[in-house]
Amino acid sequence: MRYIYASLGMLCLGIGLVGIPVPLLPTVPFLLLATFFFANSSERLHNWMITHQTFGPMIQDWHENGAIRPTAKKAATGSIAAVFLLSLALGLSFRVLAIQAVVLSCVLIFIWTRPNG
């Protein structure tokens, strides 16, 4: 089971790293998942994640306070707005736009109601 968790942790870490330069792919949720999987598989990798100079503070903010840093909130908002504007520009059906509006609004409400890290 440890190998499965370690593999899932590496997969999530990889997706999270790809999400850094790709604006529509979230980074932090995948890093949080990677941290969870590493906590259940490898103490060394888990410690590396939580003490990492870049990723560690975000992970610790979430773990200790359920907090999201304001810069991450702004980046998420910008990405969500870009996705919705792209959908509008592509002329997607009203039903798809309505579903997107509801889901993305719920995501934004969740993000902006978290404490600041």
Same domain, 52 and 76: no
Asked if residue 112 has pLDDT above 80, the reply is yes
* Structure confidence by residue, pLDDT tens digits, 14-69: 998 888 887 667 788 888 899 999 999 999 999 999 999 988 888 888 888 888 88
How many CB atoms are located within 10 Å of the residue 41 CB? Answer: 20
Q: How many domains does the chain have?
A: 2
Same-domain status, 74 and 61: no
Both 61 and 75 in one domain: the answer is no
Q: In this structure, are 49 and 84 located in the same domain?
A: no
Residues 78, 30: one domain? no
Same domain, 47 and 10: yes
3-state secondary structure the chain: CHHHHHHHHHHHHHHHHHCCCCCCCCCHHHHHHHHHHHHCCCHHHHHHHHHCCCHHHHHHHHHHHCCECHHHHHHHHHHHHHHHHHHHHCCCCHHHHHHHHHHHHHHHHHHHHCCEC
Q: What is the pLDDT of residue 72?
A: 83
The reported pLDDT for the residue numbered 23 is 66
pLDDT of residue 20: 80
Q: Are residues 9 and 51 in the same domain?
A: yes
Give the tens place of pLDDT for each residue, 71-105. Answer: 888 888 888 898 899 999 999 999 999 999 999 99
Q: Which domain holds residue 8?
A: 2-65
- Would the CA dihedral through 35, 39, 45, 50 be positive or negative? positive
Global confidence as pTM: 0.72
Residues 50 and 81 in one domain: no
